[in-house]
């Protein structure tokens, strides 16, 4: 093998024989200059790509700036023209069922302990009927003693009267009795008579006190409440033992608004409903209050009611009086708004802009709110969500169908 051949150009032979295959020649290593050139090409390509991306983003931003932000559509609202509806004018009020003549019954003597209770709540009683009895173990002997004393004084008075008559008859005989003795016996008659009258007065007083130990009904009526219990100590000024409704008459007492009171008249029919009773009771306005409470601005109304076991004193009641009819716009309850400036509704004008309209409340009905003033019925009134709209805001109307 020739020694002049470079080992980098030729590798030793593999295998045996002249036909043996030789391995491929190895590539010469890259120089430093070549490596720098390759790196420069890569950096230049990256810079060109970044520049291209920047141009694209700049073009898109310019295009977006020319178009502006996306425009949102106006809010969609429901607006209806309420029109004008005929309805009955009513005055409503709330109150309670009470006895027309509520009579408290207590002790009017010196008091004592309750010995017996003779009636219960709900009993119908007659005038003078005993409701309860107090203990008479002290008063009864006193009355018996005074009666015995009276009988004694009466007997002494009879004896004195007879003695005086005999003395007066004998005095006619000369020298039988002196004039002074006759006058003394006449004085004894007068004294005995006075003593009898005093004893009679004492007996009458004690008997009256004894009668007052029986608590009696002052009038015909119904027992409403009973607090008397056997063994209870009572005295004048203590809480009533019974409460009675004279004649079993009941009525509704209620408070009515100041502006509604002038529309009521005595004798007007009224419909009264009591909690828990499905049917209504028909009564009549019996009395209207003469004054208005300066604090609440309310007046009193009393409605006479028929006798019925379901009309129990103390029950909550609602009354309504029909005072006429009228024709006014009626809007949904959600359409009425209020703030510090007063009550108002929002209407949609011809240009679909929201306009505030001040209105006056005319009463509540099952189908909506009566507008007393401020609308003629042809306006498109925003029915719901008016609190989220601003005056002057453009809206879209979903339904503008007028109510006939």
- DSSP letter string over 150-211? HHHHHHHHHHHHHHHHHHHHHTTSTTSS-HHHHHHHHHHHHHHHHHHHHHHHHHHHHHHHHH
Is residue 6 classed as helix, strand or coil in its secondary structure? Answer: coil
pLDDT (tens digit, 9 = 90+) per residue, 260-313? 899 999 999 999 999 888 999 999 999 998 899 999 999 999 999 998 888 888
pLDDT band at 1 (very low <50, low <70, confident <90, very high): very low
- Angle, CA of 187, 192 and 193, to the nearest 5°: 100
Q: If phi over 0 gives left and psi between -120 and 50 gives alpha, with beta otherwise, what is residue 128?
A: left
> The tokens of 105 are what?
């019954």
Averaging pLDDT over each range in 3-7, 37-41, 231-235, which range is the top one? 231-235
Q: Which two tokens stand for residue 224?
A: 């409403």
| Structure confidence at residue 174 (pLDDT) | 55
- Asked whether the beta carbons of 329 and 369 are under 8 A apart, the reply is no
Q: Which CATH number describes the domain made up of 103-133+217-246?
A: 2.40.50.100
Residue 175 pLDDT: 58
For residue range 113-169, list pLDDT tens digits in order: 899 999 998 888 999 899 999 988 888 888 899 999 999 999 988 888 888 887 777
What is the per-residue pLDDT across 178-188, written as a single tens digit (0 to 9) for each? 777 778 888 88
**Distance (Å, whole) CA 374 – CA 381:** 12
The CATH number, out of the four listed (1.25.40.10, 3.30.559.10, 2.40.30.170, 3.30.420.40), of the domain defined by the range 91-99+247-324: 2.40.30.170
Which residue ranges make up each domain of the chain? 28-71, 79-87+328-397, 91-99+247-324, 103-133+217-246, 136-212
**pLDDT, mean of residues 53-62:** 61
Q: Do domains 79-87+328-397 and 91-99+247-324 have the same CATH topology?
A: no
Integer angstrom CA distances of residue 215 from 99, 115, 133, 151, 242: 21, 11, 6, 29, 10
CA-nearest of 250, 140, 107 to 206 is 140
- Is 79-87+328-397 assigned to CATH 2.40.420.20? yes
How many Å apart are CA 323 and CA 308, to the nearest integer? Answer: 26
pLDDT at 59: 64
8 Å CB contact between 249 and 99: yes
Token pair recorded at residue 258: 């100041």
Residues listed for the chain: 404
């Amino acid at each position: 093998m020739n020694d002049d051949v470079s080992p980098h150009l030729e590798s030793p032979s593999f295998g045996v024989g002249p036909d043996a295959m030789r391995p491929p020649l190895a590539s010469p290593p890259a120089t430093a200059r070549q490596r720098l050139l390759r790196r420069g090409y890569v950096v230049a390509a990256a810079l060109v790509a970044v520049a291209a991306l920047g141009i694209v983003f700049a073009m898109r931003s310019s295009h977006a700036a020319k178009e502006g932000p996306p425009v949102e559509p106006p809010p969609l609202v429901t607006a209806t023209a309420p029109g004008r509806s005929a309805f009955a004018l009513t005055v409503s009020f709330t109150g309670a069922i009470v006895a027309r003549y509520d009579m408290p019954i207590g002790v009017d003597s010196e008091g004592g302990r309750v010995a017996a209770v003779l009636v219960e709540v709900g009993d119908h009683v007659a005038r003078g009927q005993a409701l309860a009895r107090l203990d008479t173990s002290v008063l009864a002997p006193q009355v018996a003693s005074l009666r015995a004393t009276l009988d004694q004084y009466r007997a002494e008075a009879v004896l004195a009267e007879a003695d005086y008559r005999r003395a007066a008859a004998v005095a006619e005989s000369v020298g039988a009795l002196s004039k002074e003795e006759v006058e003394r016996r006449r004085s004894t008659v007068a004294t005995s008579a006075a003593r009898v009258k005093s004893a009679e007065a004492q007996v009458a007083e004690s008997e009256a006190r004894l009668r007052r130990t029986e608590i009696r009904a002052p009038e015909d009526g119904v027992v409403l409440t009973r607090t008397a219990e056997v063994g209870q100590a009572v005295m004048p000024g203590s809480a009533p033992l019974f409460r009675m409704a004279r004649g079993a008459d009941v009525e509704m007492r209620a408070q009515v608004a100041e502006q509604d009171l002038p529309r009521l008249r005595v004798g007007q029919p009224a419909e009264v409903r009591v909690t828990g009773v499905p049917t209504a009771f028909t009564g009549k306005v019996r009395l209207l209050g003469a004054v208005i409470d300066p604090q609440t601005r309310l007046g009193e109304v009393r409605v006479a009611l028929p006798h019925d076991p379901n009309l129990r004193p103390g029950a909550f009641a609602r009354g309504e009086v029909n005072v006429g009819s009228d024709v006014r716009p009626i809007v949904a309850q959600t359409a009425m708004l209020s703030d510090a400036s007063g009550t108002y509704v929002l209407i949609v004008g011809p240009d679909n802009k929201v306009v505030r309209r001040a209105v006056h409340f005319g009463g509540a009905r099952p189908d909506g709110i009566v507008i007393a003033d401020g609308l003629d019925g042809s306006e498109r009134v925003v029915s719901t969500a008016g609190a989220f709209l601003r005056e002057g805001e453009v809206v879209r109307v979903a339904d503008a169908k007028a109510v006939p």
